[in-house]
Structure 1
Amino acid sequence: MTLPVSRLARLALGAALVTSLIACASADAGPFRDRDGLTQGEVSSGATLRSYEMYRPDGLKGPSPLVIMLHGGGGNGKNGVKMTGFNALAVTHGFTVVYPDGSGRGRFLTWNAGHCCQYAMEEGIDDIGFLSDLIDVLVVRGIADPDRVYVTGMSNGAMMSHRAGRELSGKIAAIAPVVGAVFGDEKPAALPVPALIITGAKDENVPAAGGNGTFKRRITKPPNDMPYAPAGAAFDYWMASNGCPGETRPKTVTDVYTLRRGAGCKSPVQWYEIIHGAHAWPGGSKGSRRGDAPVEDFDASQVIWEFFESQSRSITGRGQPSR
């Protein structure tokens, strides 16, 4: 008997999902953990096996909040562990952290955030598809609570966080881009997404004033194919996408940061501009030997988790405060 093409396609899709689940389970469900307590996993996304590392505290049972941390351009998942300290927060607050790997040649990996960066952008890598597949697999396996999936990232990973918020607004409960940017030509997100934005006023790689920035790593051309928009453009973008008619006044100004917040929004928007912040994860560790030193008087990971913890998806898929 000859099966209809549509039925063959459904059978093939089902087989691919089962294969993905088996590969994922076999990769990270075993006893092996590295010295950071991470287990390794793989997800079949498109025609490619994509890798990630996961930290799930001992004793954590059933679906939990999931934080997806996206490394910066030229890094890998391990950089996210080192920079952020999310593993310790996961133990204290009971959530799972996943550190996916971008794409590239060797250990220096990037994300396709639309106009940045390098290999992933130039090759048109489907990173939105990868993140969507990763979320689906972790939900199916009972690891992630589908109402509490959060995405954060550093630099190119922050740009990818913005893109994930826009294009996966039905799956993501909140985003928190750190020292990243938008480009000014982004379409509105389909649904409001809670957004916490952190930028550095002294960042030269992704400058607060916009432009291409300067780089300490030896590269022959900028990693982006379009200049970064000024830092305030990301705040304006999410203010518009989240239906914010105005700002809370006055803005909060301290010796460490300036905080602006949306008022009357369908989903919250916050923007911390770190006064002495450069291109680094505030309160964390340097991502590389040549990287900028992070400020020590602002704990980005703690601030991000407190924001994430207060957000959940509603039944309709819109981001709503859970308390």
Structure 2
Amino acid sequence: MKAAITTMALYLFSISQLLSQGDTLFQSIMHDDSLRHYILYVPDAYDGSEAWPLVINLHGFAWEAASHMTFSNMNPVADTAHFIVAYPQGLTMVATIPGFPPPSPGFNLGADSLFVSPDNVDDVGFIGRLIDTVSANYSIDPSRIFSAGFSNGGMFSHILACEESRIAAIAAVGSTLPTTWPCDTSRAVPVLQINGTEEAALDYEMGLPGLLHSVPETIEFWLTRNQCDTTPVITSLPDLYTTDSSTVEYHQWHSCDAEVAHFKVFGGGHQWPGGINLVPFLGNLNLDIDASSEIWNFFNRNPLTSTKANLKPAEINLRAYPNPAAAHLNFEFDLPEAARVQLTLYNPLGQPIQILSNEQLPAGRQRINWQRPASVAAGLYYYRLRIGERFLAQPVVLR
């Protein structure tokens, strides 16, 4: 099976390069006396004149960096949104329960975990070294270094959230938080979970007892760590592709020190929504959302900041309604004192589409109205509200 996946991935890899607009560089670095490899994708628009974000995109167990680059199809998003992508290559790991492939490439989840390194490989240190190397050779914004991953790579992204303080936010697809790794970090970390309810490799409600938390348990962990309200706002997203045998709900939690969000894919398999279906037997591939675009959307509104810069909606009695919205959207909030207010709406790729306000406003209750232009399509957008030196970003669904 692995050989078939690799052959198909190499074929699709060549096609993906035709669709991408940048340089795909095969790089190596030394770490712990081992030569470690990664692929770096640099869009053509990069010229070093300004600092760009770095997204680390981690493959699953028994996959490779090249196949994951094809599978996740993130490079076209990087072309448009202007960020650099690193695809690290894992070393040989051993699955500790039956039903998984034989020893294969992956990332070390620690002793007694689901995926164990026979050589006790320090993958956290490898990613830190990768960040150092890319930052030394390219103009990287240190406040915008992110980690995303699929399956084993998503599990390892949770570990990076716990261990690597330079990671501003993470996104985990088809994966959850390992139970075997003690997450002792005290910082709040923005976390996006994307999970199918019909993943054969990971039970949505049960996880893998003793090895992986369930999806609800993973979310609960980060809700507690990020001090969020525990009741989600749930939005059913449009079923744009009725033939993909799946639909999507978007769950968001308010009043967090760091954002927690979840795309729940009903009927979805162990797949990367909107990506390339390399292995159909992994289950239904949802096409109603594009995971790479939604991940970037989430990352773009969650840079590494001090908690003093974060503004909670409850502090200013913020209301954005109706949500979902159709023809218009209203914003209401309190200003305890006069301040400069910037309100910007962003599309699913994190590109600003309209500045709704950029002016000095007096103290008191404020209201800003937005009439939706016909050119703005349906989808999941977000707005960024900056008041003085503090800001917040929140999603909004346009139907």
* Superposition TM-score, scaled by structure 1 size: 0.77
Match for 2:228: what amino acid?
C
**Among candidates 91, 98, 102, match of residue 103 of structure 1:** 91
Moved over 4 A (4+): 315-323
State the distance in 2 between where 1:95 and 1:322 align: 22
Bigger drift between 259-268 and 68-77 goes to 259-268
Bigger drift between 258-267 and 34-43 goes to 34-43
| Residue pair 1:69, 1:151 contacting (<8 A) in 2 also | yes
Q: Which residue of 2 aligns with 1:73?
A: 61
Unaligned stretches of 5+ in structure 1? 1-33, 213-224
| Percent of matched pairs sharing the same residue | 28
State the distance in 2 between where 1:236 and 1:44 align: 37
1:4-153 matched pairs, under 5 angstroms: 35=14, 36=17, 37-62=23-48, 63-104=51-92, 108-114=104-110, 116-118=113-115, 120=117, 122-153=118-149
Count matched residues: 275
Unaligned stretches of 5+ in structure 2? 1-12, 18-22, 94-101, 240-246, 312-390, 394-399
Pick the structure with more strand per residue: 2
Q: Which residue of 2 aligns with 1:294?
A: 285
Deviation at 1:46, TM superposition (A): 1.8
The higher relative CO (CA closer than 8 Å, separation ≥ 6) is in 1
**Among candidates 250, 254, 265, match of residue 259 of structure 1:** 250
Deviation per CA, 1:70-100, whole angstroms, max 9, x where unpaired?
0010001012211111111111111111100
- Taking a change above 3 Å as real, the CA distance of residues 205 and 141 of structure 1, as seen in their structure-2 partners, is same
Deviation per CA, 1:183-240, whole angstroms, max 9, x where unpaired?
345434331111111111011101112254xxxxxxxxxxxx9432221111111111
**Among candidates 260, 266, 289, match of residue 275 of structure 1:** 266
- Taking a change above 3 Å as real, the CA distance of residues 258 and 248 of structure 1, as seen in their structure-2 partners, is same
Q: Which residue of 1 aligns with 2:5?
A: none
| Residue pair 1:183, 1:229 contacting (<8 A) in 2 also | yes
| Residue pair 2:55, 2:85 contacting (<8 A) in 1 also | yes
| Residue pair 2:236, 2:249 contacting (<8 A) in 1 also | yes
**Among candidates 190, 204, 227, match of residue 211 of structure 2:** 227
State the distance in 1 between where 2:284 and 2:197 align: 14
Match for 1:50: what amino acid?
R
User: Is 1:191–2:200 an aligned residue pair?
Assistant: no
* Superposition TM-score, scaled by structure 2 size: 0.63
Deviation at 1:322, TM superposition (A): 7.3
- Taking a change above 3 Å as real, the CA distance of residues 184 and 54 of structure 1, as seen in their structure-2 partners, is same
Deviation at 1:65, TM superposition (A): 0.7
Pick the structure with more helix per residue: 1
Match for 1:103: what amino acid?
L
| Residue pair 1:194, 1:319 contacting (<8 A) in 2 also | no
Q: Which residue of 1 aligns with 2:363?
A: none
SS at match of 1:187: coil
Bigger drift between 99-108 and 186-195 goes to 99-108
State the distance in 2 between where 1:311 and 1:53 align: 25
Match for 1:240: what amino acid?
T
RMSD of the TM alignment (CA)? 2.7
State the distance in 2 between where 1:211 and 1:268 align: 23
State the distance in 2 between where 1:47 and 1:184 align: 29
**Among candidates 217, 227, 242, match of residue 243 of structure 1:** 227
Deviation at 1:290, TM superposition (A): 4.8
Match for 1:308: what amino acid?
F
Match for 2:231: what amino acid?
E
Deviation at 1:248, TM superposition (A): 3.9
- Taking a change above 3 Å as real, the CA distance of residues 103 and 289 of structure 1, as seen in their structure-2 partners, is farther
Deviation at 1:131, TM superposition (A): 0.7
State the distance in 2 between where 1:234 and 1:94 align: 30
State the distance in 2 between where 1:98 and 1:317 align: 30
| Residue pair 2:154, 2:174 contacting (<8 A) in 1 also | yes
State the distance in 2 between where 1:257 and 1:143 align: 37
| Residue pair 2:41, 2:86 contacting (<8 A) in 1 also | yes
State the distance in 2 between where 1:183 and 1:141 align: 33
Q: Which residue of 2 aligns with 1:307?
A: 298
Deviation per CA, 1:19-48, whole angstroms, max 9, x where unpaired?
xxxxxxxxxxxxxxx943411111222221
| Residue pair 2:171, 2:295 contacting (<8 A) in 1 also | yes
User: Is 1:202–2:202 an aligned residue pair?
Assistant: no
Q: Which residue of 1 aligns with 2:6?
A: none
User: Is 1:179–2:158 an aligned residue pair?
Assistant: no
Deviation per CA, 1:146-175, whole angstroms, max 9, x where unpaired?
11011000000010011111111x201110
